Chain A
Amino acid sequence: MSTLLDYLGSAIIFGILIITVIRVQTNISSIQTEMRSVIDSQTYAVDFVKQLEFDFNKIGHEVSTQKILIAHSDRIRFRSDLLNNGTVRTIEYRLGTPSDAAGTTNPNDIPIYRREDASEIIQIIGLTQFAIEYFDSLNVAMPAPITTADSLNRIRAMRVSFKIESMEPPITRAEEDTTYPAVVMERFIIPRNLSRW
């Protein structure tokens, strides 16, 4: 009888232990997935801002004609010898639509297209907000879109701000709780070649 009670007690304790372990494992998995989403968002954000700084700091390099061709709040086209090899290219950034990024679960993310001359790539990085503000030599904001050549030539700096969310939601208990970890970044860039002769 006592042996039977020992076995019964052991089984109950073991069961409780297994259930606890399963719950801990589930929580850890959830945390890992969420952390993975955060890491991915932040990684994309850092890589994206590096790319923007690489391109935007070189606006107008070795260009003697019109340096900025299009200046909208969500689109910019400019010319530059990006690689400092004597070849001036036309670079453009423009946003897509959420349907262009239908492959992700996040319904708000939009792709950003980067075109360099005739070659265009689509970057799906969880971008949900993207805006460019333009400033003149007195640091006064210029309302976008800027359309005239004279006004385009007055641009001396720009503030780029964007928000990147994870493309997949982390696993949560409630199915309707789709929180996407996000990273917001802002950069004020002064392309030096815009103020040169």
Chain B
Amino acid sequence: MGRTALLVVLGLGLAFNIFTYNLHKSNASLSEKQMDYVRMNVARNLARSAVHMVLRAYDRGENPSSFDAEFNNGVARAEVTTSGDTMWMSTEGVYEEKTYPIELVLMRGTKPFPNVNAAAGIRVNPVDFKMSGSPTIDGRNWNETGTALVGTGDLQGVSTMTSLDSSNVINEGGSRLKGSPPVKVDTTTADPLQFVNEYIVNADYTYGPGTYSSLTWGSSTNPVIVVCATPDTLTSVKFTGNVVGWGVLVVRGNLEIAGNFKFHGLVIVYGEDNIVNASAATGTPDIIGGLILAGAAHTSLTMKGTSELKYSSESLEKAKNIGKLRYYSILDWYE
């Protein structure tokens, strides 16, 4: 009897253990299925994050050909090749044993960049234009450093809105104006109000009224956006000695450049509904790229000393490709 009872109890114990094992096994199977999906999702998010990490690196001017980062207990990888404005990217997210690949092709575009139609594009009617000394405005196409002519792609030296202004500019400038032709009426000069906000919100450097010297803004391979604003027509922003920059310089209000100021790229001086003054004064301040001047009637452009304003498509092209001004369009995406 005792042995029988013992056998019955052992048998029952074995049966309950089998039931419990099966229940646990069912639970584990369900959990594993769910976790497998979770792992796939995390790997996918890592692969997509890799895309963004690469694009942000390009925006910072880093141009990586490969990328590998540990993130969120996984790995995000990318391989990139570019040809012109087309970018081929393969990314992979790895989380535990799950791998998620993505293949994509992107086209890099540039947010609207104004059409520069002259070394000095004047969108003012009428403009107060003055030249004294030996300054030059040259619409011939110079290289990025302003040291050699490219030979092709020349533009007019100065573009004006009316034939009256064109005559006045020719009379004032004479042989100090060069280009193809030196002066021309061109009403298509870009209106800064259409695009300047993009530069203002993406500014790398900002300045208020005052006099500044010994500054370096960006470089040939890393152009930047500089934004200056004066609150009224009585104050101005003045850049004097040892100021060098590449990219886009936006001035809302009055600008004075002097000393050995040298800027490679696009300079925009504008007033929303007021008169502004752009002047290149003493010393040898140079702009190599292009100038757009816009404002109310009698907005002025004054050039003195030996200042030079040279058109350069190479400088403008680099300014156009500032990382912050690029956007990416999807040509193809496979995941």
Contacts and interface: CB of A to CB of B under 8 A. Distances in A.
Answer yes or no: are A and B bound together in one complex: yes
Interface of A: 10, 14, 17, 21, 24-25, 28, 31-32, 35-36, 38-39, 42-43, 46, 49-50, 57-58, 61-62, 84, 192-193, 195-197
Contacts, number: 63
Contacts of A50: 37, 40
- The A interface, classified by DSSP as helix, strand, loop or mixed, is helix
B333 to A, nearest CB: 4
B334 A84 contact: yes
B235 interface: no
Residue with the greatest number of chain A CB neighbours at <10 A, chosen from B19, B36, B107: B19
B26 A32 contact: yes
A23 to B, nearest CB: 13
Interface string B16-43: 1001001100110110011011001000
Interface stretch (B68-76, B173-181, B303-311, B324-332): B324-332
Interface in B106-131: 107
B331 A196 contact: yes
Contact of B29 (A17, A31, A39, A57): A39
B193 interface: no
A61 B334 contact: yes
A42 B33 contact: yes
Nearest to A39: B30
B26 A39 contact: yes
B273 interface: no
B330 A32 contact: no
Given A192-B330, A192-B333, A197-B331, A35 B33 contact: no
Contacts of A57: 335
B201 interface: no
B12 interface: yes
A61 B333 contact: yes
Nearest to B40: A50
B87 interface: no
Contacts of A195: 330
Given A43-B33, A46-B37, A50-B40, A32 B335 contact: no
